[in-house]
Structure 1
């Protein structure tokens, strides 16, 4: 099996104690060359969750979100009724898939899922089926960001563009237009 490569963020903050995450780029097909073990399974190796915090006007990667263990989700009990979290802060978990399109690596699929968190009462709002469906759409190369507020879309667009300009250049114009960032 071929090794996978990771893009590196050249804008490393000096003195930062945060773990530096990278977008995983293009892992081989586990079923390539045989029809045995792993056929029909879904690989999340090309997917990276990006948390958009419109309150702090920042975006950051958090691989823990793949297993509902991101920094914003820890120690929070999630409910399916948004009215039970009236004073919560809005966050978006954006499922970003990196893959090849027309022979070039790019942001292949991007889909944002809403969560609302109230740390004071340790409760949050999240619809798990929505997250699963958005992960699926991202893996299939679709862009589902139009339901996000304009500020959050812009924060995400700036983050993706600045993180790895080469990927951004190869990304479909549809996503750039949706995020309002060229």
Structure 2
């Protein structure tokens, strides 16, 4: 990664946009506190790419995604992790962390991902679920290290479920 590039952080927790307003949309989920993190499984690297919110990340650009993994036999594997940050008395924490598998083959401009799974996992993250048990151990370690190094306080305030899910071998 180019050192001159701006380091992208997680979306900041915003105040409630419906504060004092009890009408339409009250209680609706907000995407303000969710950030997409990609893990390049082969390279063992993680990075935030907010373009994934609309399937416009650097990894996804120019790729036609197919619902059948067999149609992309040489696809490079990635995890897309939806990370939701929330705040409680102790301070902000990683509240929802859900992982989705996908592959990309740049040479044929095709990739595999299950769009329903990606949408459902984003929703689960917003609803404060931890779904990382299906990830490979190396990727779990990469994600744990990334979340911890990105913000130690957020990591320390996070649930034991998340820490055990990522650190247990």
Q: Normalised by the size of structure 2, how large is the TM-score?
A: 0.93
Instruction: Give the count of matched residue pairs.
Output: 168
The answer to whether the 8 Å contact 1:154/1:179 transfers is yes
Unaligned runs of 5+ in 2: none
Shift of 1:33: 1.1
Unaligned runs of 5+ in 1: 1-12
Where in structure 2 are the equivalents of 1:1-182 lying within 5 Å?
16-180=3-167
Shift of 1:100: 1.5
Which structure is higher in RCO with an 8 Å CA cutoff and minimum separation 6? Answer: 2
Q: Write out the 4+ residue segments of structure 1 that deviate beyond 6 Å after TM superposition.
A: none
The answer to whether the 8 Å contact 1:98/1:109 transfers is yes
Q: Distance in 1 between matches of 2:5 and 2:153?
A: 24
Q: Give RMSD over aligned pairs.
A: 1.6
Shift of 1:102: 4.3
Shift of 1:91: 0.3
Q: Distance in 2 between matches of 1:71 and 1:92?
A: 14
The answer to whether the 8 Å contact 1:101/1:108 transfers is no
